[in-house]
Homo-oligomer: A and B are copies of this chain.
């Protein structure tokens, strides 16, 4: 298939590479040039606008930082919507608002273009290994057509709904649960540290008993060791995600008090200058609130 990948950050670059290695024809676009070079060497065609990148492709994947970037790339000047073929599928993988996802679905429908919402779970290492989890929202037919691509980048695809927006909200719900692991483990660790329990022992116990899941192994260790640099995913992006969760919740009138607690701790982290740290660093705020010095 002919596939365009728009956005070559920590996640987009390895995704493009995996698709290339799976034998597809790949064109890439990125706002800055630097990240395109290695992919060009590996055989990707480099485009200088989204408009150019998606011309003639079967599938165009967007993997961008936020709503604003997606809006620019899809609907902005020299955006992809202008040259995208009728019948071609836009696969939106970024974590975006439910509001924007709904607007994209409409905009594509008006042009007889297809739209699949397919956010993913997994950090950059998982993207490199083709071990992402893909959460797909869209018609059976559209999702089926994307199967070869999803297979190249992920270990499993969950086709969650015919409604693309449902996939976005599931991604937001999942991100909220990951943030909740950081928050609640951070609180439990503050408690046990104040009673003299060693952080590594508490982590060892939990992750080898009831909490033996990947998300706990990753984040409980980060919180316990406080190794927040280099950041896998920075705190301002974490706050952006929690705000998307709260906006989606507000729109349907769903109170999510723990999301509010998390947002407040993140705001304090940022108010104190933690912009460059990994998003799990908001657990540092929790520890400080209990009077604990850095680990």
User: Chain A: residues with CB nearer than 8 A to chain B?
Assistant: 98, 121, 133, 135, 156, 158, 160-161, 163, 165-166, 169-170, 172-174, 176-178, 180, 183-185, 187-192, 194-198, 201-202, 204-206, 208-216, 243, 245, 248-250, 252-261, 263-265, 267-268, 270-273, 286, 289-291
Q: State in angstroms the CA–CA spacing of A202 and B121 once bound together.
A: 13
Name the prevailing secondary structure of the A interface residues. helix
Pick the residue among B160, B191, B255 that contacts A173 (CB under 8 A): B191
With A208-B156, A211-B215, A268-B289 as contacts: A202 and B170 at CB distance below 8 Å: yes
Q: Are A257 and B261 in contact (CB under 8 A)?
A: yes
Q: Are A210 and B201 in contact (CB under 8 A)?
A: no
Q: Are A254 and B190 in contact (CB under 8 A)?
A: yes
Q: Are A197 and B260 in contact (CB under 8 A)?
A: no
Chain B nearest CB from A184 CB (Å) reads: 4
Chain B nearest CB from A257 CB (Å) reads: 5
Q: Are B177 and A291 in contact (CB under 8 A)?
A: no
Q: Are A290 and B261 in contact (CB under 8 A)?
A: no
Chain B nearest CB from A179 CB (Å) reads: 9
